[in-house]
Amino acid sequence: MNRKIYNILMVGVGGQGIITASDIFALAALIHGFDAKKSEIHGMSQRGGSVFSHVRFGEKVHSPVIARGEVDILLSLEEMETLRWLAYANKKSLVVVSKTRIKPAMVSDYPEDMEQQLGKSFPNLLMVDPGVLSKRIENEKFFNVSLLGLIAPLLPISIQAWEKAIGQKVPLHFLEQNLNAFKQGSLYYDSIKKEVNS
Amino acid sequence: MEKLLLSGNEAIALGAYEAGAIVGTGYPGTPSSEILEALTSYPGVYTEWSVNEKVAFEVALGAVLAGARTLVTMKHVGLNVAADPLFTSSYTGIKAGLVIVTADDPQIHSSQNEQDNRNYAAAAKIPMLEPADSQEAKDFTELAFVLSERYDTPVLLRTTTRISHSMTVVTKGKNPDRSHKAQGFKRNREKYVMIPAHARARHSIVEQRMRNMTQDSNNLAVNRMELADKRIGIITSGVSYTYVKEVLPEASVLKLGMVYPLPEKLIREFAEYAEKLIIVEELDPFFELRIKAMGLAAQGKQHLPLVGELSPDTIRSGLKAVVPQELFAQGSAAAQQKLSSAYTPPPRPPALCPGCPHRTVFTILKKLDLIVTGDIGCYTLGVLPPFSAMDTCVEMGGSVGMAQGMEAALGSAYNHNTVAVIGDSTFAHSGVTGLINAAYNKHRSVIIVLDNETTAMTGMQPNPLSGQRINKETTVKLDYLKLAEAMGIKTENVHIVDAYAKAQVEEAITASLNKRELSLIVVQGPCIILKRKRKKA
Ligand SMILES: Cc1ncc(C[n+]2csc(CCOP(=O)(O)OP(=O)(O)O)c2C)c(N)n1
Ligand code: SF4
């Protein structure tokens, strides 16, 4: 096993399923045999605030939080939220962004040029069309899990470990659909892989 | 051995279960609330959400004197409420193990202040343990029960938000000790009845106990030296330890698992070894002052902030000036390549949910432009736009007393433009006593209880106005009318109104202010997130 610690930062807005997704993520890493830690601040009960979760895994993880600049993958479920966490990323970080826009309460119009802004800041950017992915999964509710499937091919965690973790974290009657969402995410990644590599 | 990924809070509950706890009490408060919720899921443990932290502590103390190993949980400011029994329980000691969890909140993620509760350990002369991850959270809880019974003392277990809410790997214990049974209360008046003559004797015993523990702490395995490079010796505890290991992997470290009393001999030994001592601790210079008082040269707060959480980044930048460059972890080369953006996303401040029952009252209070003494809960968001209708918020229950003070200050010049606003859980916690005061001292305050049937802010825990206990069992509901009547508030001055009936809410407020008599207005409507949850269940 190499000594690398993998640092994944998942960000978005309350209600997008980030906490569940990061629960699954860290558990999959543990089941695979890694040391794993994850850290987030459980917001207050009200909806709509910024949400983030740090997931770290490797042979031995000390800090539950990622140091600035050290993120390997920034997985963002909301366009402008991505920029809030810029300081944690670097030029090599893979930044996966779902093209989802949730307008903050205090703002009158969502900035039109957000995609351009993201393109300017993140050299290694992958924009995901939630429409395309959602069509392939039965229910938008499992979109968070399909995004895990999307980045899974980039990580040294076995499919079996991922599936086992999903099995432990989602209700039984939704298991099928979640496993399918995960698979569709990976297939989607395969279909766009060439872009990422270039 | 089964490995789990648990939050610090879940790990504390597991530790208490494995240590044989048979009673768990507490009052919710971020970041502590999940401990008791997790403990409730284990068989053979009685748990309760008590009405407030003081009562939770008293129930716990009664339980241990009757022989039950007991865990009591609260957030940092909760210990202020429970401070009275805390200090004297140090004198009475225990019978079965008593572990008090105080969950501190550096960075004020969800609190009203950033107090460092290590100070309580010193002030109340009660030992305190502080874990650095979930495994330690479990192990230290078990150790806390052992120490409690070995030294006949309550033991404090301090977590911080990062420990309570981070998930790390935990190995389940082999044999949970579930044989422990309460034997019932045995009289011991010199020990349990703190009249001055008894208390004086007990105080000497407390001091002797602390001397013994100070001595023994030098050999406690949770206080651990990790000797490496001699140039720098770091003394640290809790989550800060994990940051230090990340940022300064080659430095020598003295990791304190017991943060009070301090292992003086061990610290001196460590100081002998390392050329320069640096204390890395969040918030107050608690270790630093004590280590300096030992006559040792140490540095700390001149490099690190007194305010907020530490992080790998703050430690790296703070210690740059005093630690040789080569002791710092390299970090990835990529991390040096900083990114930039011309656009800064606007903040997403928390706001009342769409459809929240609290919205009506604040719309009206804003319209009437009243002075509003506020309190703590979801409804504190009434201070922010679009409502901007709250003028004070200090601590739980504070709204009720402060409204009376504003009236008292002005005497006959008071022009009846002030109302107190308080949530149902907060009202039960400490608003009731304030209301008794208002009736007794003939204040003419208008007290508005926002009853959403739950403790929403901290995650929907049931309370005395919910008709439900922690285990979902149904129970009595406090009757506002009878309560008010018993206090001496006129029945006609009690208004119970629907949170969505705007006109009635406004009418109740204006009528009460015009009447110039002590009034209680209860605005009822369930939290909509609670409603959604009930539907799902
Ligand atoms: C002494 C103390 N204990 C606990 C807390 C944590 N806390 C903040 S608000 C709150 C209660 C909120 O419930 P309620 O008054 O019913 O208002 P709601 O959030 O439901 O609107 C609690 C327990 C605190 N701030 N202070
Ligand atoms: S959680 Fe409930 S009480 Fe809190 S803002 Fe939302 S609806 Fe209102």
pLDDT of residue A1: 44
Tell me, yes or no, if A194 comes closer than 8 A to chain B by beta carbon.
no
Low-confidence residues in chain B, pLDDT < 70: none
pLDDT of residue B127: 98
B53-111 pLDDT tens trace: 999 999 999 999 999 999 999 999 999 999 999 999 999 999 999 999 999 999 999 99
- Rg, Å, chain B Cα set: 25
Domain borders along chain A are 6-197
Report how far residue B464's alpha carbon sits from residue B469's, in angstroms, rounded to the nearest whole number: 8
Contacts of A184 (CB under 8 A, 6+ apart): A133, A136, A137, A146, A149
Report how far residue B533's alpha carbon sits from residue B537's, in angstroms, rounded to the nearest whole number: 6
Is the CB of residue B304 less than 8 Å from the CB of residue B135? no
pLDDT of residue A196: 57
The top-level CATH class assigned to A6-197 is alpha beta
Angle of the B134-151 helix axis to the B196-217 helix axis, nearest 10: 130
Q: Distance of CA B154 to CAs A44, B65, B187, B220, Å?
A: 31, 11, 19, 18
pLDDT of residue A195: 61
Report how far residue B237's alpha carbon sits from residue A198's, in angstroms, rounded to the nearest whole number: 46
Whose tokens are 């990114």? That residue is B339
Task: Out of 3.40.50.20, 3.40.228.10, 3.40.50.920, 3.40.50.300, select the CATH number for domain B224-342.
Answer: 3.40.50.920
Contacts with B350 from chain A: Cβ below 8 Å: 43-44, 46, 48-49
The residue nearest atom 2 of ligand 2, judged by CA position, is B527
A40-91 pLDDT tens trace: 987 666 667 899 999 999 999 999 999 999 999 999 999 999 999 999 999 9
What would the mean pLDDT of A22-26 be, rounded to a whole number? Answer: 98
Contacts with A110 from chain B: Cβ below 8 Å: none
Q: What is the 3-state secondary structure (H, E, C) of B212-273?
A: HHHHHHCCCCCCEEECCEEEEEEEECHHHHHHHHHHCCCEEEEECCEEECCCHHHHHHHHHH
Q: Please report the residues numbered 112 through 141 in chain A whose beta carbons come closer than 8 angstroms to any beta carbon of chain B.
A: 114, 117, 120-122
B349-393 pLDDT tens trace: 888 999 999 999 999 999 999 999 999 999 999 999 999 999 999
pLDDT of residue B336: 84
Report how far residue B286's alpha carbon sits from residue B517's, in angstroms, rounded to the nearest whole number: 49
Report how far residue B175's alpha carbon sits from residue B304's, in angstroms, rounded to the nearest whole number: 42
The residue nearest atom 4 of ligand 1, judged by CA position, is B29
CB contact under 8 A, A83 and B345: yes
Q: Which two tokens stand for residue A165?
A: 């973790």
The shares of helix, strand and coil residues in chain B, as percent rounded to the nearest 5, are 45, 20, 40
Q: How many CB pairs under 8 A join A and B?
A: 158
Q: Which of B311, B339, B345 sits opposite A89 (nearest CB)?
A: B339
The string of DSSP codes covering B140-185 is HHHHHHHHHHHHTS-EEEEEEHHHHH-EEEEEPPSS----------
Contacts of B300 (CB under 8 A, 6+ apart): B278, B279, B280, B281, B285, B287, B288
CATH fold of B3-219 reads: Rossmann fold (3.40.50)
Residue B216 CB: number of other CB atoms within 10 A? Answer: 15
The top-level CATH class assigned to B358-536 is alpha beta
pLDDT of residue B90: 98
ipTM of the complex: 0.95
CB contact under 8 A, A64 and B168: yes
Q: Hey, of A10, A24, A63, which one would you mutate to test binding to chain B, going by the most B CBs within 10 A of its CB?
A: A63
CB contact under 8 A, A68 and B31: no
Report how far residue B308's alpha carbon sits from residue B311's, in angstroms, rounded to the nearest whole number: 10
pLDDT of residue B332: 78
Terminal CA-to-CA distance of chain A, rounded, Å? 27
The string of DSSP codes covering B347-368 is P----PPTT-TTHHHHHHHHHH
Length of chain A: 198
Asked if residue B378 has its Cβ within 6 Å of ligand 2, the reply is yes
Residue B515: CA count within 13 A, CB half-sphere: 19
pLDDT of residue A66: 97
Tell me, yes or no, if B187 comes closer than 8 A to chain A by beta carbon.
no
Residue type, B171: T
Peptide bond into B31 cis (omega under 30): yes
Q: Which of A38, A91, A117 sits opposite B167 (nearest CB)?
A: A38
Q: What are the residue ranges of CATH 3.40.50.920 in chain B?
A: 224-342
Q: Give the model's confidence band at A198: pLDDT under 50 very low, under 70 low, under 90 confident, else very high.
A: very low
Contacts with B316 from chain A: Cβ below 8 Å: 67
Report how far residue A175's alpha carbon sits from residue A168's, in angstroms, rounded to the nearest whole number: 9
Ligand that comes closest to the CA of residue B81:
1
Tell me, yes or no, if B312 comes closer than 8 A to chain A by beta carbon.
yes
Contacts with A111 from chain B: Cβ below 8 Å: 343
pLDDT of residue B333: 79
Report how far residue A147's alpha carbon sits from residue B18's, in angstroms, rounded to the nearest whole number: 38
